[in-house]
A and B are shown apart, each in its own frame.
Chain A
């Protein structure tokens, strides 16, 4: 069945780049997403990438997709303390409505 896996924790220094990784199993994935969850809040969509793309950049965020290895990454440049949150990787597949979420990576940013 579908599965999305992420490492649970990442710690970086303020100003450094953060790279959060995700692997997924469903080769028919159409869209892949990164969501951010701050304490006590719901999830907020950060960015998404269509499966026929390799890379997408949006200001400080860069998404890389390796479809062959079913690997997705989110790079946050110049990480700030306000970036401390849980980041969820998610996928949907052609013709579906379900979105499969990973367990989330908790990003700690040290000042």
Chain B
């Protein structure tokens, strides 16, 4: 079946512009995560959605970052007034509400590579 998809695959923007990154999770997966992967760094947790519950935004690095998930499916990560330090690969992952292997059993999209000039 279809996996997690993300768009665009690459995004180049100028400093100060806003960007929107999209994630389409696997159908039926109630949990959705956004991560940031910088060169040589591990995955930095950004935000977590689970069903209709309030999202956990504890990983968002500043108020320039926001995310929403509409209808429990598609999610959009928005970065306002982008800075050069925002350059990274942004990964989305989803998982079903229950399943083998605990909460770390996540299905990842291919990521969006963001470059801020």
| Partner-B contacts on A (CB < 8 A) | 4, 8, 30-31, 33, 40-45, 48, 50, 88, 90-92, 96-104
A42 & B109 in contact (Cβ 8 Å cutoff): yes
* Cα separation A103 to B43 with both chains bound (whole Å): 7
A48 & B42 in contact (Cβ 8 Å cutoff): no
* Cα separation A16 to B35 with both chains bound (whole Å): 33
* Cα separation A97 to B93 with both chains bound (whole Å): 13
Q: Decide yes or no: A99 and B104 within 8 Å by CB, A4-B42, A88-B43, A104-B42 being known contacts.
A: yes
How many pairs, one residue from A and one from B, have CB atoms within 8 Å of each other in the complex? 65
Other-chain contact of B42, A41, A96, A98, A102 (Cβ < 8 Å)? A102
Chain B contributes a number of interface residues (CB within 8 A of A) equal to 25
Q: Which residues of B contact A44 (CB under 8 A)?
A: 108
Q: Decide yes or no: A88 and B42 within 8 Å by CB, A42-B4, A43-B91 being known contacts.
A: yes
B61 to nearest A CB, angstroms?
16
A-B CB contact pairs (8 Å), 14 listed: A31-B101, A31-B104, A33-B101, A42-B110, A44-B108, A45-B105, A48-B101, A48-B102, A91-B104, A98-B45, A98-B103, A100-B45, A101-B42, A103-B40
A99 & B108 in contact (Cβ 8 Å cutoff): no
Listed from nearest, the 9 A-B pairs whose CB atoms lie closest are A42-B108, A31-B102, A101-B43, A99-B104, A103-B42, A92-B104, A101-B42, A43-B108, A48-B101
Q: Which residues of A contact B33 (CB under 8 A)?
A: 99
* Cα separation A50 to B102 with both chains bound (whole Å): 9
